Structure 1
């Protein structure tokens, strides 16, 4: 039996690799997706082989991740529950897509992952796998084995000589990619406890950020960002550059208690510096280029889109249908936004677009010939008609 394991080299998957070999007598093929973790990817590949994998894939997917997943998602301007920029959520369908592809290439009967039976990732991985290969077998060790929690797993790893990056002194889990870093579990499970300042990897603590603000300009063409401060870059290069710029000013930290798809609440802490800059810059350009009703319709549907991504329905027809609409609306988003970064904040201080819908003459309080202010009287009376009828009916009621 062959099993392809989504392998990060962390606590869960390090133990899972050995557990799969022992429990199923299987040949385990490890797959690590390079979506911006840096040197950890090659370390994970070497560790997988040392831990017993018969083969270990490490694929550079950074450009595909940003171009085919992050940028399309951002065209919808989604925020899950008003805060979360979906950094972990959007990475899962990409990883699962390649899990299935490697399983087909290697003739593997099953895929496996390290997501727990309480979390969202199990849903995201498996919905994607079944959408792409309906007959695939999925093995989820967290739903099968005897371990009750990470403390038992740490002890198991120590007993079996498996090196893991989680200790009882730093008992929280972390997931990193080019869009964000997420932290959860352990000491973060108390929603009243402030995250330790030395935990963060992508962002400077805002109090320690530079005392002088920095300006950054982000240019969009037909819905996607293409340049930073006038320099054109590939999608992954652009996001990495914005991570560095936003990170040094402490931009993009979020601490929230969110509603998982499986029904429970959980506390998550996130760093999304570049994504935060892109979100604000996009909205600035959209304010000039999008028709009011198109923008309002997009914003009405954005929470639903975010929910679909969060819940794992990237390869579902409803997400694809919404994507087509979001892409159509985003076609006119061409222009440049200027942001001012200071001590954890990103302020929009300028925006321009070659086909701006903003007309300074129309908006001005000075005299002009296009807009007759007397026309507003009829507009208001027509819109007030139903309100007046309702009020009149209340007055006449016995």
Structure 2
């Protein structure tokens, strides 16, 4: 059957991609049966505030939700919360649920997201050792975040550093342990790494890079310390692991759908099964502005792929594919990232990091491929457009702060 004749659409997962997909389907005119299956007990909600304002207690839970329960009722969308999808029968076109029920589908969207990478350390199962991925994770962690208590964070990526900033602002003693030689090593340049290391240390965070943990110690089942490879003991009242995430691709892979570090999809978010789509953290997609494929762990990606999947099912034109973008809030610093900086051969600093307002541009063969903008929205916004057009820019032009960024962008577009 043509998907445009679909009468039953099932969305597995209840995060940003799922919320966007069902919203786009209804907005696009789909009037058939629409069901969301989510293994958490909460309605679809935003994850970025979890390690920022919500963790700090400055963001009400109600504000996390994309839509209230009444919206799903009005839109005639059935939401099955606290329910796991355990198998896909592609022949019968049905999803098997953990309680034994089945949901038939004409089109299926997998928005299964991702999960924290397990901490491969003895003692990782002690009480007081936390992940930070879900609303429930924060609810378990936040009551223990009392001024004067000691938090050890393992991993200096965005989640680890955002949590460190919140914890310091709440008065905790914080130590961040990173095995790489610098913070944010996987995602940015030494310039940005050094800036954020200096900022966290100025705020009172102890940052240990190039450092390995041998185990976590505990008493009566509760974590009490992190033991480094050299034997150093770091007292801890709680430990937060932030060492990356893994795509939830097992449901697709076990159904025979092609996967490789994510569920493989085309530009329309369609998997190797033409009736099955995948969107969000779980999907490995074509990165059209960079000539390769990969996973993007971002709000932008989840929203965009939710729209792409809905449009493909409805037989509507493909929505625009934007330049990837991300952000991180730490203290009074807003880091906005556009593009992907991997494989750059030149970086250019615009502005002075000492002013806490600057940008780092990344070029390959003089073509702009990414920017990290700290408290610099004009550089971020202009770069998004320039990256999408494959603009070539001379380093001396980018570094010249006497010329406004909007003028540089206009000249490049001319």
RCO comparison, higher one (Cα < 8 Å, 6+): 1
Same fold? TM cut 0.5: no
TM-score when normalising by structure 1: 0.28
Task: Return the TM-score normalized by structure 2.
Answer: 0.27
| Larger relative helix fraction | 1
The structure with more strand, counted as a fraction of residues:
2
Query: Highest Rg: 1 or 2?
Result: 1
